[in-house]
Amino acid sequence: MEPARGWPPVDIYQGISHTSKTVLNIRFFQVALALYGLGTLGYLAFLATQREALARLARLATGLGLLAHTGYFVTRWAASGYFPITNLFESLNFFAWAIVVSFIILQIKFPAAVVGAIVMPIAFLLGAFALTLDAAVAPLAPALQSGWLYLHTTLAFLGDAFFVIAFAGGVLYLIQERQLKSRHTGAFFHRLPSLDLLDRVNYRSLTFGFPLLTLGIITGAIWAELAWGSYWQWDPKETWSLITWFIYAALVHARLTVGWRGRKAAWLSIVGFIAVLFTFLGVNLLLGGLHSYATK
C-alpha cells in the first residue's frame, strides 16, 4: 500500500510561509481545546445539578470543538503532506479527537450525558498535554512513508477511544452500584443512569472497540512484515498492545460465554483502560522501542 499523495487537491496554503502554516493549524487546535474545556465544565456541572440546559451547552461546545479539531487535522495534513499522527504531539491530538468522535457516536444510541463528565476531561487532558510539546511540522521519516500508517493507526486509536467510553461506563456503574447497596443513597444516586444503561454503554463500547483494536494489530503486523521483514518483533509497544488485546478479549469472551455483566465487567474495563494508557504513554515515555515518539 503506497502513501496517499496529492492531498489536499487544492493548495490551501499557497503563498503562506511554513511558520504561518504551523500557526494556523495550532490555532484550530487551541480553539478546539478551549471548547473541550467548556464541554468538560458543562458535563461536570450537569452531573452536579442535573440541569438539562447545561447538558445542551456541553453538547454544543463538544460538537463545535470537534469541528475545530477536525479543522486542525485538515490544515495540519495540508501543511505536512502526510497524515498527522507520527509524533507524540500529533498522536495525543488524534487520540483526543477519536475519543470525542466515539463519545458522540455512543451518545446517539445511549443518550447518557453524564458519561461526558468522565470522557471529556480525559480528552481535554490529552489535548492539554499535547499543548506542552513541540508542535512544529517535521518531514516524515522514511519508515513511516506508507499508506499502512493511516490504516493501522486510525484503527488502533479508534479502538482505544471506545475503550475510554467503556471505562467511563464502568466507573459510573461501580459508583451507582455502591450507592444502591448502601442504606443511604449518596448525592449522585438520582444523577446517574440506571445500572442496566451503564452496563449497556460498557458492552456496546467493547463491541466497537475490540474489533477495531484487533484490526489495528493485524494491519500493524502486515505493515511490519513489509517494512522490516517480520510480522512481530516483540517491541515494547507490540508486547503491551498484545497484553491489552488479551485483557479485552477475555472481557468480551466472558460477557458472551459466561454471562459476565455489571461489576466484574466494569472492573476489567478499568484494568483494560490502564493498559491502554500504559501502552500509549508509558511505553512511549519509559520503555522506548521502534514505536516510541520523540517528545521534542
Checking if the pLDDT of 189 tops 80, the result is no
Tell me what the mean pLDDT of segment 36-58 comes to.
Answer: 93
- The pLDDT of residue 139 is 77
Q: Which of 68-72, 135-139, 181-185 has the highest mean pLDDT?
A: 68-72
Q: Report the mean per-residue pLDDT for the chain.
A: 84
Nearest Cα neighbor of 77 from 95, 63, 90, 64 is 90
More confident residue, 16 or 252: 252
Instruction: Kindly give, in sequence order, each residue whose CB lies less than 8 Å from that of residue 163, ignoring residues fewer than 6 positions away.
Output: 205, 206, 209, 213, 248, 269, 272, 273, 276
* Domain ranges (residues) in the chain: 17-86+112-140, 145-296
- Please check the confidence at residue 221 and state whether its pLDDT lies above 70: yes
- pLDDT for the residue numbered 97: 96
Most confident of 30-44, 74-88, 273-287: 30-44
Cis ω for the linkage preceding 139 (within 30 of 0): no
Of these ranges, 17-21, 72-76, 160-164, 275-279, the one predicted with the greatest mean pLDDT is: 160-164
Gap between the Cα atoms of 213 and 230, Å rounded: 20
- Whether 12 has a pLDDT exceeding 80, the answer reads no
The reported pTM is: 0.86
pLDDT of residue 295: 38
For residue 94, the model assigns a pLDDT of 95
Higher confidence at residue 33 or residue 83?
33
Angle, helices 148-181 vs 88-109, to 10°: value is 50
d(CA 73, CA 92): 12
